[in-house]
């Protein structure tokens, strides 16, 4: 996230830009061919951007949703009675919360606004508070990325051969990334590290986003299909499998981009270690053992478009889950900005260490 008084380096992709009460959103569907920012002036525009995959990545979605609240509050300030303002804001919150049901960051980013509505906060105070909250959240998430990059790289060996899945970099966060921040730091420390990324179907986040991010920064990367990645793991050609997360349970279960569980299992079989890298805002403290969580499923046309045909023929059913669940036994480390745990050894998140009251909002 680049705030108004900051200027990004030429090689840095900026997924969100707050400018004079508007939110500029980099349309990731057009990458790598075109870098184009669209403009959002209200919550519904942010909803569309999230649902249509103009922006994605759990930390980035959370920050964008927080700015969506600020935009809507600004828009509704003039000419509405107090009760109407609160009703319209509740409607906006409901729409934002429905965007991506698996990513817990979204819900946590919107929680303060729900509290302010319960308190019947004055609209002008609400607008000021929501904008300050969004800016603060963006700054904290960016700082978390830097810390996670260092902590994760500490776990890697010299000359490590790294595999990553989906996109977990600047285009999924408001900083250097989660898993990709670790990759960047590892290569900075030791240029002999080798990086492989999956193309990640059906949206090709690995091909269009991860490979593009790394190439812009001069980091060599092998781009492979998930099938080839599996072969590399089984052939013991990978040392570390490093991914992000959309939701993490206190005992170390991880919801992440579909394919993560398969690759983590193959990593275990081939002797590679698995790191999950995510901020503590991704921990769902209410996710109990044995409890299910909503797994988002998207339309089959997202898969079918690769055939070049517009319509799915009758009789073909396409299952398109976006996430899967990886058990703790397959995860060697979970890296957060507040420290690291080892789920495969039975270590869980301690609330006293890994959670704290939210900053004053």
Looking at the annotation, which residues are catalytic? Answer: 246
Token pair of 245, please? Answer: 């997360």
Residues 6 or more apart in contact with residue 337 via CB below 8 angstroms: 143, 144, 145, 147, 148, 151, 279, 280
Cβ 152 vs Cβ 278: under 8 Å? no
Residue with tokens 């920064």: 217
User: What is the β-pairing status of strands 37-40 and 22-26?
Assistant: antiparallel
Token pair of 241, please? Answer: 């499998």
Cβ 148 vs Cβ 172: under 8 Å? no
Residues 6 or more apart in contact with residue 267 via CB below 8 angstroms: 163, 233, 238, 241, 273, 274, 330
Residues 6 or more apart in contact with residue 58 via CB below 8 angstroms: 103, 104, 105, 106, 172, 244, 245, 246, 247, 278, 282
Dihedral sign of CA atoms 32, 35, 36, 42 in order: positive
First-last CA distance in the chain: 19
Residues 6 or more apart in contact with residue 111 via CB below 8 angstroms: 358
């Amino acid at each position: 996230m680049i705030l108004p008084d900051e200027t990004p380096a030429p090689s840095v992709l900026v997924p969100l830009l707050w400018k004079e009460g508007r939110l500029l959103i980099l349309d990731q569907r057009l990458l790598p061919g075109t870098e184009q920012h669209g403009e959002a002036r209200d919550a519904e525009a942010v909803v569309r951007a999230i649902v249509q995959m103009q922006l994605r990545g759990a930390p980035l979605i959370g920050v964008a949703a927080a700015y969506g609240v600020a935009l809507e509050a600004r828009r509704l300030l003039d000419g509405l009675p107090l009760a109407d303002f609160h009703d319209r804001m509740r409607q906006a919150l409901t729409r934002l919360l429905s965007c991506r049901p698996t990513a817990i960051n979204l819900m946590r980013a919107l929680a303060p606004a729900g509290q302010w509505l319960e308190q019947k906060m004055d609209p002008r105070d609400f607008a000021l508070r929501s904008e300050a909250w969004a800016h603060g959240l963006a700054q904290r998430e960016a700082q978390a990325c830097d810390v996670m990059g260092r902590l994760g790289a500490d776990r890697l060996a010299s000359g490590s051969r790294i595999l990553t899945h989906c996109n977990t970099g600047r285009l999924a966060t408001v900083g250097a990334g989660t898993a990709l921040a670790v990759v960047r730091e590892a290569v900075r420390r030791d240029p002999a590290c080798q990086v492989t990324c999956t193309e990640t179907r059906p949206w090709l986040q690995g091909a269009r986003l991860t490979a593009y991010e790394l190439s812009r920064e001069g980091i060599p990367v092998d781009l492979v299909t998930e099938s080839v990645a599996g072969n590399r793991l089984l052939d013991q050609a990978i040392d570390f499998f490093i991914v992000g997360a959309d939701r993490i349970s206190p005992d170390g279960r991880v919801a992440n981009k579909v394919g993560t569980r398969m690759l983590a299992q193959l990593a275990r079989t081939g002797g590679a270690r698995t790191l999950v890298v995510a901020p503590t805002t991704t921990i769902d403290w209410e996710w109990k053992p044995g409890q299910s969580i909503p797994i988002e499923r998207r339309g089959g046309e997202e898969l079918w478009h690769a055939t070049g045909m517009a319509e799915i023929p009758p009789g073909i059913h396409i299952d398109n889950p976006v996430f899967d669940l990886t058990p703790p036994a397959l995860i060697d480390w979970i890296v957060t900005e507040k420290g690291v745990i080892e789920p495969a050894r039975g270590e869980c998140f301690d609330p006293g260490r890994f959670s704290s009251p939210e900053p004053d909002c």
